[in-house]
Amino acid sequence: MADNSSAAVLGTGIMGAAMARNLLVAGLEVLVWNRSKEKAEPLAEDGAKVADSPAEAADGADFLITMLPDAEVTAEVVWGVALDSLADGAVWIQTGTVGVEGCENLSKLAVEKNVAFIDAPVLGTKAPAENGELIVLASGPEDVKEKVSPVFEAIGKKTTWVGEAGSGSRLKLVTNNWILGLLATLGETVAFAEELDVDPEEFLEAIGGGPLDLPYAQMKAPMMISGDYPTSFPLKLARKDAGLVLEASGDLPMKVSEAAAALFDAAIESGRGEEDMAAIREGVKEGRGS
């Protein structure tokens, strides 16, 4: 990476803030912006410059990195001055989960502004983001792969290139569908164990270390058992991702994903939307009226 390369990070929630810090460690000049400025301000202590607007953050930046809740918010934030403010030859790296149609719309904005666009949603939540161990599902023009690789090396432990822009978002939806089904099944399994007077910890011990074991289950099930859900990835955003999966499924029956979405809805209605997505377990409780 050239000396003095700069990156504008728009969206400094759990994921964006961690990515910004890892970019600083990698030696980039980092400018950050968030709709709620107070969430961006702690990054100043790490060496980032906190901007008052997306345009200020993007001014002269070599990389524009967006980690925002959805495609509509992303488009609103970058359109116009922010994209116009970038350095010549800058690359826009879209890392959020925006869905198939959303990615297509964002790509069109980049084309209109003649900005190279990389669709690169990431796999991982709070801890992997903080440790620079995200998995990047990158897609976009071949001629900027080398340019953006140091950025991906800073934020992740693995980058998978999967074709033209939009391919990354499609793969992310497929992966998210698997996660949604796993969470719903895990929540019901914990509830089922309790219904049969089986300690759910015995279930985790039974599968531990064998072919049925999953590190993800070992991480999320204790939250479900304790009823304590410190946020690694908010449940409300997981529900948004479920909606993107169902939206993209067309005529394909997606019964498991529909059931997972219903459990998310029940958990959100019980006031758990800001908690970790493992709180889908509470949706199981609400479903039985308890």
User: Which residue numbers are catalytic?
Assistant: 172
- H/E element holding 139? none
Strand pairing class (91-94; 116-119): parallel
Residue 39 CB contacts under 8 Å (≥ 6 apart), including other chains: 12, 13, 17
C-beta neighbour count of 234 within 10 angstroms: 21
In three-state secondary structure terms, 214 is coil
Residue 147 CB contacts under 8 Å (≥ 6 apart), including other chains: 91
- H/E element holding 92? strand 91-94
**What angle in degrees, to the nearest 10, is found between the helix axes of 255-269 and 167-195?**
70
Residue 290 CB contacts under 8 Å (≥ 6 apart), including other chains: none
Distance of CA 283 to the CA centre of its chain: 22
Q: Are 30 and 48 in contact (CB under 8 A)?
A: yes
Distance separating alpha carbons of residues 15 and 39, to the nearest angstrom: 12
Both tokens of residue 262?
A: 């219903």
